[in-house]
Amino acid sequence: MKIGAENRKKVIAMAVLLAIALPLTLYSFRGMFGGSSAGSPSSRGATPQPGKTGLPASMQDPSQDPRLRTDILVASRKIRYEPGRDIFHMKAAPPPKVETSVRTTPTPPPTPTPIPPPPPIPLKYYGFASKPGEPKKVFLADQNGERVFVVAQGEIVDRRYRLIQIQPSSVMMEDVLTNNRQPVPLTSPR
């Protein structure tokens, strides 16, 4: 098999990476094959210094002692399980709650929130005009006074309000969206 110049570079790079990866892989799996770590006292030739208990100095702490503590085992066997007790922590069960009788007055049912009144119709009634043979028409203006509407009975103003009834002192308007009827009183022009 003939290796070209480009493939030769790839083969050399692969061989270098393999030479680096193989020792690293063996080093990471050394504990699985019965090897000892390089940092352990036995590999350095040092022997552990026994303390008063005959254990290495690092294991003289009772919480680090690997031996079976039968006194804790006997104490745990004497504890009975009670519902509501946490079995994963060695604590005393909380004292039972004592219920005391306290007179309370029954709370009345909540009152419904009152429905807010509909918004006022934002039109002003300035007067009416009537010609013989034609229906009566009224003059309405918006709140700003920028637009004036001349409307006959039954017509819709500003695409929302319908003129229902014309009277000399007021007009009855209906909000088409909410079916709300409101009288709009006659106001004097400023």
What pTM, to 2 d.p., does this model score?
A: 0.40
Could you tell me the CATH number of the domain that includes residue 132?
A: 2.30.30
Mean pLDDT of 37-60: 51
On whether residue 136 sits in a domain, the answer given is yes
User: What is the distance between the terminal CA atoms of the chain, rounded to a whole angstrom?
Assistant: 108
In a domain, 108, yes or no: no
Q: Is it the case that residue 120 has pLDDT exceeding 70? A: yes
Q: What is the pLDDT of residue 181?
A: 92
Q: Is residue 177 part of a domain?
A: yes
Residue with tokens 């029954």: 106
Would you say residue 154 lies in a domain? yes
Q: Say how far residue 81 (Cα) sits from the centre of its chain.
A: 38
Residue 113 covered by a domain:
no
β-strand partners of 86: none
**pLDDT band for position 43 (cuts 50, 70, 90):** very low
Task: Tell me the mean pLDDT in the region 78-90.
Answer: 73
Contact 125, 170 (CB under 8 A): yes
- Expressed as residue numbers, the domain containing 177 is 123-185
High-pLDDT (> 90) share of the chain, %: 20
Q: Write out pLDDT tens, residues 135-147.
A: 889 999 988 878 8
Looking up tokens 């709370």, which residue turns up? 107
Report the number of distinct structural domains present in the chain.
1
Report how far residue 158's alpha carbon sits from residue 85's, in angstroms, rounded to the nearest whole number: 71
- Asked if residue 130 belongs to a domain, the reply is yes
Specify the amino acid at residue 70. Answer: T
pLDDT at 108 over 80: yes
Residue 150 within a domain? yes
Asked if the structure places residue 4 within a domain, the reply is no
Band of the pLDDT at 186, cuts 50, 70, 90? confident
Q: Provide the 8-state DSSP code for 62.
A: G
